[in-house]
Every structure is written in C-alpha cells, then in structure tokens.
Amino acid sequence: MHFSLFTATGAYNLGDELILLQEYEYLRNRYKKATFTIFTYDRNGSLLPKDPSIKYVGYFPDHIRTRPIQNILAFFETLFAIYKSDRVIIGGGGLIYDNEAGQSFDTLLLQWQIRVWIAKLFRKPILYWSLGIHIKAENEAKILPLFEGKNTYVSVRDTESRKILEGLGIKSTLILDPVLLHDPEIPQLMPKKRPKVGLSFRAGYLPNALENIEKIITFLGAAGYEVILLNHSFHTANLGTNDSFFLSSLAEKYSLRTTETIRETLELYKELEFVIGMRLHSLILAFVHTIPFFAISYSQKTDEFIRSINYDFSLAARVFDIEVFKKQFHELERQKNEQKFALERKNDTIKREVYLNLNSFFDGLDRT
C-alpha cells in the first residue's frame, strides 16, 4: 500500500506537523508494509522519524512565477507520486479558509483543485482526513468540485465543517483533530524553581492585543510565574502568522524566554504548570498533556473544541476583559488538581473515540 499525503506541512507550524505525525503513526501501525510520499514546503522541518519508506516531495504549485524550474520539476514529481499511489490523503486541519490576512482564498483553492484533478485523472481514491473548512457563505459553492466523485471519502474535524458540506450535498464523517491522538512522554519529576506558564497567542484576533497580552504577562509575573512564549508558527513568508515576530517587542521588554523551533515548543509543554492559549493546537497539546489551561477562543474551531470537552475556563477573544480573566484564572489555580484529573479522564475518553471512528472509517475503505 502506497500513500500520498497532502497536509499543510512545511509551513513552519507546529500544529500542522503534529497532524502529519499522527496520521503517519496511525497508517504505519495499521498498514505495516506501507510506503509514503509526503508533500511538503520544507523537506527538513518534519517531526517524522527517519524511515526509508518515506519520500518527501515539494509542493506544486509554489511561487510558480519566481521559481518556474522548481515548479516544473515538482509538477512531474507530483504526477509520478500520485500515479503510483494506492490512496491519496488530503488533510487534516484547516486547508481551505478565507479568513486570514496575507492568504488569497482563490489561490489556495486553485492549488487544491490542481492536486485533486491529478488524483482524479489517475482514478485514485481520495481521502479527506479530519478536514477543517472555514469559509464565508459566498465561497461555499466554489469548493464543491473538490469533494465530488464516487472515489472520494470525506471526514471532517468539526460539526460546522460537516454542516457546510451537507449544504452542498456532500456526506462526511466526523473524526476529531488527529493531534488529540498525540501521546506525550511522561516527564521526569524535577524540583521546580518557579512554576512556568506558557502563552500561545496569534495576531489579528484579540482587540488591543499587545496591551492586553502585556497585562497578562505582568499579572502572571507578579504572581510568581515564569512566563514563556510558546511560538507555534514560524512562517517566514507571511509574518502576520509568525508568532515570534508578533510578540518580539514584549519578549524583549520583559526578557521572556521564547521558543525558537517547533521541536522546542513541543518539548516545553512537559514543563508547564498552566497554558494560556489562543491557537487550537496549543489548547489540544495542553489537553493531551493534562495541563490546566485558559482558552482565549478566536474562531469556530477553538469554540467547538472547548465545547467538545465541556471546558469552563475560557473567554472569547472579541470580548476579552483583563479583570474577568484575572478572576477566572485565580479560580483555575484553585481548582488545578481537580482540573488535571478531569482532563486526564476526558483525554482517555476522546482518544478512544477518535481511534474507534478512524478504525471504522478505514475499515469501510478497506472493504471497497
């Protein structure tokens, strides 16, 4: 069995790389002799282990006007990889969206239309894995051709994405985000000098962002915490999504530790007492590490994750109030141990649910 995997990897984002890692681990365990072609923007930045069954291929198209030769080579690599594949997997995560500055929806859609067209040309089964669809109503009909065809099988990670597809006449299976399967190593117990709180924010969604984040930093510092900036996105082309760039002034002003690679960010979760996060995969990593967290929700996907685990400690980014945050964070501190136990129970339940749904999804495919 040979798989071609198209995810949003190689864009220097921890969540995207973790999605790929969990998909690879599931497929490797299920199909022992499987081989893989991984499509990526960065062949050296993966979290995947060294495995001779993996081949990396650059994405096509990618900066086609400024890199014509590389794109010609990538085009033929793409053709050959899909031709020899038994299945083409697309996802998971938010591959199709129109709500981020610096990213053209039409360009993004065209890229996926080309890749899907090639797969359909060679009559390959197409599997959408825990897809997130975040688009305005006027763009919904434009994505329909991606999901049409007898040999296309769709799973989504949230109910809003499923509703969008239902409105287009496309059936889908709900399978929660693959990162919920992440099973972190248990850290060694070490004496703590100062309890650490990790902050994971993203630009563009929190009103008066730098002012409010600075108030959070000073509040936590006065309470005796070591504040660490957990950078999840290191995108070099679109600085609007680069977490390190976004908070660089506050990191310098308060001499804060700030993570510099996705691997460093991932490892640091093992040391944290609390997480305060906006990014979906920061909240999920806190959840799978059973770290009590405070969610500042900015989107459909974060709202739905918080609801799915029935979690109380959150505020909507659009109405964020520092005094309300302080009050709720004090309550989270008081309930820390209780919340850790609750997260552990929920984590076990959701992992089982995701595995059962994945097994059912792939069992059905294997019978076709």
Both structure tokens of 140? 């919904």
Both structure tokens of 47? 């979290």
b/e burial code for range 124-157 (CB count within 10 A of at least 16 → b): bbbbbbbbbbbbeeebeeebeebbeeeebbbbbb
Domain 2-181+350-367 and domain 196-334 have a common topology = yes
pLDDT score of 134: 86
* Axis-axis angle for helices 322-334, 209-222 (nearest 10): 40
pLDDT score of 102: 67
Q: What is the DSSP string of 15-37?
A: HHHHHHHHHHHHHHHHSTT-EEE
Residue with tokens 């009909």: 141
pLDDT score of 192: 63
196-334 has CATH 3.40.50.2000 classification: yes
What lies within 8 Å, CB to CB, of 268 at 6+ separation is: 198, 228, 230, 259
Rg from Cα positions in the chain: 21
- Give the SS3 label for residue 213: helix
pLDDT score of 43: 72
Q: Are 298 and 191 in contact (CB under 8 A)?
A: no
- Give the SS3 label for residue 239: helix
d(Cα 279, Cα 92) in Å, to the nearest integer? 16
Q: Where are the domains of the chain?
A: 2-181+350-367, 196-334
pTM: 0.93
Q: What is the largest CA-CA distance in the chain?
A: 61
pLDDT < 70 stretches in the chain: 9-11, 101-102, 186-192
d(Cα 225, Cα 3) in Å, to the nearest integer? 46
pLDDT score of 314: 98
Both structure tokens of 12? 């220097």
- Distance between alpha carbon 117 and the CA centroid of its chain, in Å? 25
Give the CA distances from residue 174 to residues 147, 153, 157, 215, 305, in Å, rounded to whole numbers and listed in that order.
15, 12, 6, 39, 13
pLDDT score of 41: 80
pLDDT score of 160: 93
Cα–Cα–Cα angle for 207, 306, 287, nearest 5°?
110
Q: Are 30 and 24 in contact (CB under 8 A)?
A: no
pLDDT score of 206: 95
d(Cα 69, Cα 41) in Å, to the nearest integer? 16
**Which amino acid is it at 162?**
R
What lies within 8 Å, CB to CB, of 213 at 6+ separation is: 199, 201, 206, 247, 250
pLDDT score of 42: 75
Sheet holding 35-40, edge to edge: 54-58, 35-40, 2-6, 87-97, 126-134, 152-156, 173-174
Sheet holding 314-316, edge to edge: 257-258, 226-229, 196-200, 274-277, 293-297, 314-316
CATH of 2-181+350-367, one of 3.40.50.11930, 1.10.1240.10, 3.40.30.10, 3.40.50.300: 3.40.50.11930
**Residues present in the chain in total:** 368
